[in-house]
Structure 1
Amino acid sequence: MPGMNGQEAPTVAGLLRLSVPAILVGAVSALSLFLVEETAHLLEHVLWVDLPGLFGLDPDSGWWIFAVLSVTGLAVGAVCTFVPGRGGRDSATVELLAPPLPLSAVPGLLLASLLVLAGGVSLGPESPIIAINTAILVALTVRFWPRIEVKLVVLMTGAGTIGALFGTPVAAALVLTGVVAAAAGGGALWDRLFLPLLAAATGSLTMRMLDGPQFGPTGIEPLGAPQPSDLLLGAVVACAAALIILAGAAVFTPLHASFRRLRSPLLYTTLGGVLLGGLGALGGPVTLFKGGQQMADLIRDAGDLTTTELLLIVAVKLCALLVAATAGFRGGRIFPATFLGATVGLVAQSLLPELPLSLALACGVLGAVLAESRDGWIALFIAVVVVGDISVLAVLCLVVLPVWLLVMGAPKMLVRAEE
């Protein structure tokens, strides 16, 4: 059987035999993501529509936002304290692809993730859903296909889930090239990407059939033929967005340690919820949740906002991301970083109206996602997906180079070891 440890090169027969498991892994990854997000949407409707309607309250009021996020913090803290598995690993301490969790940790992680997604916390689903899918699919594979290496299942599951999350199997495959190349000792790289790409394509197509793209429609005018000045302006916007994320990364580990001084997740996650409530009341509904639909709403309504108001949204969202990620909430940081990058692009466009909107948004997203993920492929593809304009890709491929030089040696939003 083809493995990922470099001991034997994949064969045609081996790839064909494993194609069915790869397709199943991709489909199950997408279906799992869909079910989690649909359940979260139902709970979100209860918290932000049904309950305030029952009491005749405005769900966009600062008091309601403060109350919901504070209670969400308490609820997530209770899950991480009392539920078996303690809600899985602290999201601040793990990369997207991590060793599989025991199945006993999945219910707690699932419950914590649903609370985060529905409660308006500024984190995305990518980190917990990959962990949930990996735990489940590794357990199923060990049971039904014991000859398939766990490492390969982890790669296929990560690829399938990333494909479902970001709507492009190519991005998922490219994200894994570094991992696969490091493990490959024989055979062509594409031999070893065959199964992850198959899982990613299946996950992407399954999710699109079930729920459409993760980012809301923006209706942005295409860039068209780029101008020489676009390279300089785009690099400035991208570097500005990256610097904002790097500023957050510089305080990430100290902030994480500060919350852990309270020792109990019930205490520090509740405190985080209270702080998020205050930030949400200050920034308004657009600064809540993972940021996909909120980003589309902000782009649509940006003409009604001043530069100062957009800067306030950037500041609030960055603080919300930092608090949510370090105070014990379970969730990923790519979606909020995407929102931040797009908002930086809107700030740039408000200061320089001649700057094309699609370029400003794409470069802002590129810089923020690259600084958060340190993965140029996923930053490029998310930037293109957000604006829906392939004509920006050539500019982005050059803009990414100075941004990479800026971020390559800088701190990352990641705590290297549990406190």
Structure 2
Amino acid sequence: MTARVPIGIVMNGVTGRMGYRQHLVRSLLAIREQGGLPLRDGSRLWPEPVLVGRNEAKLRDVADRHGLTDWTTDLDAALARPDVSIYFDAQVTSEREKAIGLAVAAGKHIYTEKPTATTLHGAVELARAADTAGVRHGVVQDKLFLPGLRKLDRLVRGGFFGRILSVRGEFGYWVFEGDWQEAQRPSWNYRAADGGGIVVDMFPHWHYVLEQIFAPVRAVTAHVTTHIPRRWAEDGQPYDATADDAAYGIFELDGGVVAQINSSWAVRVNRDELVEFQVDGTEGSAVAGLRRCRVQHRAATPKPVWNPDLPSTDDFRAQWQEVPDNEVFDNGFKAQWEMFLRHVVEDAPYTWDLWAGARGVQLAELGLQSAREGRRVEVTELRS
């Protein structure tokens, strides 16, 4: 019989949408459903979640729903347990820095959602503290594991594009204001005092997508705004939306690549997926979304002619070729969890640490600075 090796994981924030659905159900519980995580010695690692949160009723409901019994509202007590090795954080952004600091002080390995802190200073201090404590640390960078972006990364590494010229990204959807239809995002996302704002939320994503697939970001120019200034909270009461809900950014990358990404919670979708990136190079182009990726090679590029006096007869979308899967794509959050768990117990390679998280926070801060000052801002290298 295969040996089962338990590993205790404090999961803080599992009553929220992301913490519950992606990290608990579709990651750790999914690993248990497959019989644990196979290790090199033939044993199987068995995650033992310890659910932590502030709302006792919600915690009990989540635990009962999945046959779990280990939950508490006392974070300090959970971190003091010797059978816990990892602390995971999916709380609201404003609560994250303090909790991770406590976990580092308790000697726990750290795995966390992004952004890792509300300020660059806080994010850097967490990374330094974790390094000093000698604990392993990782940051969720889930979009790197999306099938569409996995295929895009495959094209980049295979040299499909030749010299990459530009990246254009469109992300977002209409988030209902909450008056006549319930909002599909929590109200704290639209209050600056609670750590809300699309720049703080999405620029760390764009940072790791650009850095990991293409090249490091060297400068940013951004325009940030709040298109919808009044929204309605979960209790039906109106509130002032003080955080930005749209950002329009230009990112300059190493090698002369120019990336332009629009992010908005006040846009109606007229594209195939909620996020899409078009990459243009001297030898070919690609359009990648969450799952699909289509290409057009230089040799197969048509020759459009501008003539506004006649209707176009070109079916432009039909001129692109679908990139095959060529592999089975697991849930991206689960795949990264498995990599981090192997990093902790087997010293497997892992690059997406708290320093990577800090670089994402840095880009968000610089984007807000660019918008505030109306100028291009260079990105300096972080020092450990």
TM-score range, shorter chain: under 0.3
The structure whose residues are more often strand, as a share, is: 2
Normalised by the length of structure 2, the TM-score is: 0.28
**Of the two, which has the highest radius of gyration?**
2
Normalised by the length of structure 1, the TM-score is: 0.26
